[in-house]
Amino acid sequence: MTRPDRDLYRPCVGTMLINADAQAFVGKRIDNKEGDWWQMPQGGVDPGEDLDKAMLRELGEETGAHAKHISILHRMEEELYYDLPPELQGKLWGGKFKGQRQVWYLARFTGADSDIDLKAHKHPEFCDWKWVAPSLLPELIVPFKKPIYETVVTAFKSYLSR
């Protein structure tokens, strides 16, 4: 299989954030009015930004969780790619990218639920959140990202049972 042209895909980090019960954080996007879709935190990596720092920054922006409550357990080595659906291509990210290339993390949240604050950032992305069994993640995400979530759940499965 041919590797996609990296320049056509926005660099991104994603995080499966789990609590002490190995349940995964998902947020309901504010901007998705079309369905009952939930996603794990993810976001763009700035040019030259360290991936670990980008992941912690994105988690802070999207969940309000402080880095002192985050413990990185694992990072996938390979980037995962997805294409935006045709109706979204050219509309997001200034039309520069056809999708995203993501590095996924597994991280443990050691804080209390009250340490989650979706309004901590001036531009919140989620309007609601909950903890769910990781096996449910592929069913909660928008359909075009389902293969990514299936891969992430499989990649982190052995770490979740420790």
Taking only the tens place, the pLDDT of each residue in 121-137 is: 888 999 999 999 999 99
Q: How confident is the model at residue 2 (pLDDT cuts 50, 70, 90)?
A: low
Sorted by where each begins, the domain ranges of the chain are: 6-160
6-160 fold: Nucleoside Triphosphate Pyrophosphohydrolase (3.90.79)
pTM: 0.92
| Residue-wise pLDDT tens digits, 53-93 | 999 999 999 999 999 999 999 999 999 999 888 777 766 66
Q: What was the pLDDT predicted at 98?
A: 86
Query: Over 80: is that where the pLDDT of 162 sits?
Result: no
- Phi–psi pair at 91, nearest 5 degrees: -105, -30
Q: What would the mean pLDDT of 157-161 be, rounded to a whole number?
A: 87
Q: What would the mean pLDDT of 7-26 be, rounded to a whole number?
A: 96
